């Protein structure tokens, strides 16, 4: 039996409740297939479109009537964990029953600790929320101390820091459930980012990359395998060039070389391969897989996906 952390992309979950209710079925199938082959599975997921939708709904409601509160980012993230987690656990339970597996599944609202001295706090880089015009951007910078950046002719967007995860506050809860053979959905959207202040964990407006949070989770659970499910079948090099190439295998030292050659784009493949590297470095027997949601089962059987090893290098 292998212990596997599966990280699902938020983009694969759709933009409305109706879409999400439909799309989680594919994710549930992929996950329960892994369970049915005797694996212990822990589920992590992104929340980019969903947390944006929640944050924007409150912002718009506040514009209509200032008595309606705006929703800060940590609280919007907590809502997204409930919203996505409910649909995922509901669909996974149905699929477990369809496959005659007598198991339980639940979502844990999860806080992920970040370091208040993380350099990311000095250099916010993660765009969130709606595009606004220059005038609104200036008002937000002045009134709310938001940092706004222009994005390729589409207008201005708020950017927040994307610090690295250093710990998972609810890890003991997660371990208890995994040891009892339950399925757990956790670190949704990378987790609610919190910093330690004495006895208190304070929520901060930031976004933890879900791939790094998943790698931290897989590391703390000492998983055998981290599977990052995305929209593409394999990691590519020379992307978009005549010599574009799919990679079946990848090692940590190759990752370093490819990163030095700017092979991976910052917003998509770079954090995934970096997260895999972080996970692999914890134990030489670990394996990471990057594959498409539809081909998760085949990737696990070695038929597709990019298999990453080399923690022993």
Catalytic residues: 10-11, 126, 210, 272
Of 108-116, 149-157, 230-238, 266-274, the window that binds its own copies (rule: CB under 8 A) is 108-116
Q: Does 205 bind its own copies (CB under 8 A)?
A: no
DSSP symbol at 277: H
Residues 116, 59: Cα–Cα separation, whole Å: 27
- String marking each residue 49-88 x if it binds its own copies according to CB under 8 A: ----xx-xxx-xx-xxx--xx-xx-xx--xxxxxx-xxx-
At closest approach, how far in Å is the CB of 5 from its own copies?
18
- String marking each residue 133-172 x if it binds its own copies according to CB under 8 A: ------------------------------------xx-x
Residue 207 or 269 with smaller CB distance to its own copies: 207
Tokens of 207: 């976004």
The helix/strand/coil state of 243 is coil
Residues 217, 155: Cα–Cα separation, whole Å: 36
Angle, helix 48-64 to helix 73-98, in steps of 10 degrees = 130
Residue 198 or 242 with smaller CB distance to its own copies: 198
Residue of 132, 140, 147, 173 interacting with its own copies (CB under 8 A):
173
Own/partner pairs, 121-127, CB within 8 angstroms, 24+ separation? 121/161, 121/163, 121/206, 122/161, 123/161, 124/159, 124/160, 124/161, 124/162, 125/159, 125/161, 125/162, 126/159, 126/160, 126/161, 126/162, 126/206, 126/207, 127/151, 127/157, 127/158, 127/159
- String marking each residue 109-128 x if it binds its own copies according to CB under 8 A: xxx-----------------
Q: Does 47 bind its own copies (CB under 8 A)?
A: no
Residue 70 or 254 with smaller CB distance to its own copies: 70
Q: Does 15 bind its own copies (CB under 8 A)?
A: yes
Of 114-122, 133-141, 200-208, 287-295, the window that binds its own copies (rule: CB under 8 A) is 200-208
Residue 109 or 140 with smaller CB distance to its own copies: 109
Q: Does 180 bind its own copies (CB under 8 A)?
A: yes
Q: Which parts of 254-312 are beta strand (E)? A: 287-292, 306-309
Residue 61 or 309 with smaller CB distance to its own copies: 61
**DSSP conformation letters of 1-69:** --EEEEEE-GGGG-SSHHHHHHHHHHHHHHHHHHHHTT-EEEEEE--HHHHHHHHHHHHHHHHH-TTSP
- String marking each residue 264-303 x if it binds its own copies according to CB under 8 A: ----------------------------------------
Residue 74 or 124 with smaller CB distance to its own copies: 74
CA atoms within 13 A on the CB side of 186: 28
Residues 218-257 interacting with its own copies (rule: CB under 8 A): none
* Torsion on CA atoms 110, 116, 119, 121, rounded to nearest 10: 80
Tokens of 274: 């970096």
The binding site for its own copies (CB under 8 A) comprises 15-18, 53-54, 56-58, 60-61, 63-65, 68-69, 71-72, 74-75, 78-83, 85-87, 89-90, 93-94, 97-98, 104-111, 169-170, 172-173, 176-177, 180, 182, 192, 194, 199-201, 203
């Amino acid at each position: 039996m292998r212990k596997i952390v599966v990280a699902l992309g938020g983009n694969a979950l759709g933009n409305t409740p109706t879409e999400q209710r439909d799309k989680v079925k594919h994710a549930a199938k992929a996950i329960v297939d892994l369970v049915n082959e005797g694996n212990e599975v822990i589920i992590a997921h992104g929340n980019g479109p969903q947390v944006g939708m929640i944050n924007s709904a409150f912002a718009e409601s506040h514009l209509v009537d200032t008595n309606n509160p705006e929703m800060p980012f940590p609280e919007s993230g907590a809502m997204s964990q409930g919203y996505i987690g409910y649909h995922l656990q509901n669909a996974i339970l149905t699929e477990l029953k369809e496959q005659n597996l007598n198991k339980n599944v639940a979502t844990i609202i999860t806080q992920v600790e970040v370091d208040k001295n993380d350099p990311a706090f000095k250099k916010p880089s993660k765009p969130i929320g709606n595009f606004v015009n220059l005038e609104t951007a200036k008002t937000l910078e002045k009134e709310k101390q938001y940092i706004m950046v222009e994005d390729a002719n589409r207008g201005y967007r708020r950017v927040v820091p994307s610090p690295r995860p250093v710990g998972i506050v609810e890890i003991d809860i997660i371990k208890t459930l995994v040891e009892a053979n339950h399925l757990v959905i956790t670190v949704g959207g990378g987790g609610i980012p919190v910093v330690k202040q004495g006895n208190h964990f304070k929520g901060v407006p930031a976004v933890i990359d879900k791939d790094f949070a998943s790698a931290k989770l897989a590391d703390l659970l000492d998983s055998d395998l981290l599977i990052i499910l995305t929209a593409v079948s394999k990691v590519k090099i020379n992307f978009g060039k005549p010599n574009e190439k799919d990679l079946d295998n990848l090692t940590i030292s190759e990752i370093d070389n490819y990163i030095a050659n700017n092979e991976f784009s910052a917003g998509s493949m770079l954090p995934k391969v970096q997260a895999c590297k972080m996970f692999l470095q914890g134990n030489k027997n670990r394996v990471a897989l990057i594959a498409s949601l539809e081909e998760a089962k085949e990737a696990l059987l070695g038929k597709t996906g990019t298999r990453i090893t080399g923690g022993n290098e």
